[in-house]
């Protein structure tokens, strides 16, 4: 399964009306007209039908990389680069310029690597049949209890278009096929390798721990003044002291003083996962030993104290349960490892020129 999805963007709909390539001194000038439905180039044009020169910022062999492609990949980096350029034209230079240039170079290198990989795939005549993509999408949909149409509707709600998802899947398959063609058996993941990874990293596959808690909560009125807040704080401090000393049990104190619905059960909340608690509660609750009472916890609603009355460590998932996940982990690692090897060789044998100062 592809290990990443194409993220959504609001860069606008591009209508290329004219592309005129002029080869001169190893670079291209590309003239394009763009129609924008968002703000990507709002700083560059005044109306939706304006004609602009989309600057070529790098060349990979005979393939140009344009400023638009840069902006499409990383809008924030593009805006930072544009701001730096505008300030530089006014003679303004800041300490952030080096960081912006470094980020610009990093984004450019991602674009360069993508083009190099596509070019290597073309050389190797890699082809992914449409029926292969359809079969894969169907299997993913079924695994998630969707029909194919339901699956694409689900992705759309997440901001991922059908076209973008299929492109990502196809690119992933193309990369894997390229690697298999170049490296052969080195890309094969055996059952013994899966089992070995499981045994060495078994702690990664333990379920989430739980903690059994009791709670005493005192509310602070929304518009309480300083004196009222101090009085409530003194009250919960005294309750906490009684709980620690054993003058009364935590459950008795909860039934007598707590203003949380759990007071009916002696403050018992029950077993909870860490992600079910707010951060200020979870950080404290999961550090408590069984039987330990927490410090006073301040919240925007009042004051609280917790008592840990039990813990459950997550149980280990079986190899059978986790096998697909391990396969994805190893596949991702090998894909990245061997793609770097291909890219290193491709860069050495290619003409790569960045045309802006970075």
Output the pLDDT for position 39: 30
Structure token digits, residue 207:
């379920």
pTM, two decimal places: 0.57
Three-state secondary structure string covering the chain:
CCCCCCCCCCCCCCCCCCCCCCEECCEECEEEECCCCCCCCCCCCCCCCCEEEECEEEEECCEEEEHHHHHHHCHHHHHHHHHHHHHHHCCCCCCCHHHHHHHHHHHHHHHHHHHHHHHHHHHCCCCCCHHHHHHHHHHHHHHCCCCHHHHHHHHHHCCCCHHHHHHHHHHHHHHHHHHHHHHHHHHCCCHHHHHHHHHHCHHHHECCCEEEEEEEEEECCCCCCHHHHHHHHHHHHHHHHHHHHCCCCHHHHHHHHCCCHHHHHCCEEEEEEHHHCCHHHHHHHCCCCCCCECCCEECCCEEEEEEEEEEECCCECCHHHHHHHHHHHHHHHHHHHHHHHHHHHHHHCCCEEECCCC
Whole-angstrom distance, CA of residue 50 vs CA of residue 48? 6
Q: Apex CA 173: angle with CA 171 and CA 175, to 5°?
A: 70
3-state secondary structure of 20: coil
Q: At what angle do helices 319-348 and 162-183 cross, to 10 degrees?
A: 80
Output the pLDDT for position 52: 37
Output the pLDDT for position 318: 87
Q: Evaluate whether 32 touches 18 at the Cβ level (below 8 Å).
A: yes
Whole-angstrom distance, CA of residue 129 vs CA of residue 108? 30
3-state secondary structure of 354: strand
Q: Evaluate whether 210 touches 312 at the Cβ level (below 8 Å).
A: yes
Output the pLDDT for position 240: 95
Structure token digits, residue 281:
């509660």
Task: Going residue by residue through the chain, which has 358 residues, state the pLDDT in tens, using 9 for 90 and above.
Answer: 332 222 233 322 222 222 223 233 332 222 222 222 233 333 343 333 433 347 899 999 999 999 999 999 999 999 999 999 899 888 888 888 999 999 999 999 999 999 999 999 999 999 999 999 999 999 999 988 999 999 999 999 989 999 999 999 999 999 999 999 999 999 999 999 999 999 998 888 877 888 999 999 999 998 899 999 999 999 999 999 999 999 899 999 999 999 999 999 999 999 998 888 888 888 899 999 999 999 999 988 999 999 999 998 877 888 988 898 999 999 999 999 999 999 999 999 999 999 998 8
Output the pLDDT for position 209: 85
309 Cβ contact list (under 8 Å, min separation 6): 212, 213, 214, 268, 290, 291
3-state secondary structure of 57: strand
Domain 210-312 part of CATH 3.40.190.10: no
Output the pLDDT for position 300: 86
Q: Evaluate whether 272 touches 210 at the Cβ level (below 8 Å).
A: yes
């Amino acid at each position: 399964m592809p290990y990443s999805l194409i993220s959504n963007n609001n860069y606008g709909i591009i209508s290329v009306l004219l592309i005129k390539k002029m080869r001169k001194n190893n670079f291209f000038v590309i003239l394009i007209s763009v129609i924008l439905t968002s703000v990507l180039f709002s700083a560059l044009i005044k109306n939706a039908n304006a004609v602009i020169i989309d600057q070529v910022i790098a060349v990979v062999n005979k393939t140009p990389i344009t400023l638009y492609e840069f902006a499409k990949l990383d809008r924030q980096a593009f805006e930072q680069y544009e701001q730096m350029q505008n300030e530089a034209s006014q003679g303004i230079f800041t300490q952030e310029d080096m960081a912006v240039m470094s980020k610009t170079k990093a984004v450019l290198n991602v674009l360069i690597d993508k083009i190099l990989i596509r070019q290597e795939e073309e050389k190797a005549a890699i082809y992914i049949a449409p029926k292969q993509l359809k079969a894969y999408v169907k299997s993913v949909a079924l695994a998630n209890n969707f029909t194919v149409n339901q699956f694409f509707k689900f992705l759309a709600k997440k901001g991922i278009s059908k076209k973008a998802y299929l492109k990502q899947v196809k690119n992933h398959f193309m990369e894997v096929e390229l690697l298999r063609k170049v490296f052969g058996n080195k890309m094969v993941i055996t059952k013994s390798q899966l089992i070995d990874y499981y045994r060495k990293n078994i702690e990664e596959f333990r379920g989430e721990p739980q903690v059994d808690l009791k709670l005493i909560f005192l509310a602070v009125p929304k518009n309480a003044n300083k004196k009222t807040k101090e009085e409530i704080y003194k009250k919960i401090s005294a309750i906490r002291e009684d709980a620690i000393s054993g003058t009364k049990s935590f459950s008795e104190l909860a039934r007598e003083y707590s203003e949380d619905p759990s007071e009916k059960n002696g403050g018992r909340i029950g077993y909870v996962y860490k992600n079910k608690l707010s951060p200020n509660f979870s950080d404290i609750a999961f550090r408590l030993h069984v039987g330990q009472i927490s410090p006073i916890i301040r919240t925007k609603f009042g004051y609280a104290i917790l008592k840990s009355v039990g813990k459950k460590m997550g149980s280990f998932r079986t190899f059978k349960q986790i096998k697909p996940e391990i396969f994805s982990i190893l596949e991702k690692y090998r894909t990245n490892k061997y793609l770097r090897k291909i890219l290193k060789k491709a860069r050495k044998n290619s003409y790569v020129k960045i045309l802006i100062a970075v």
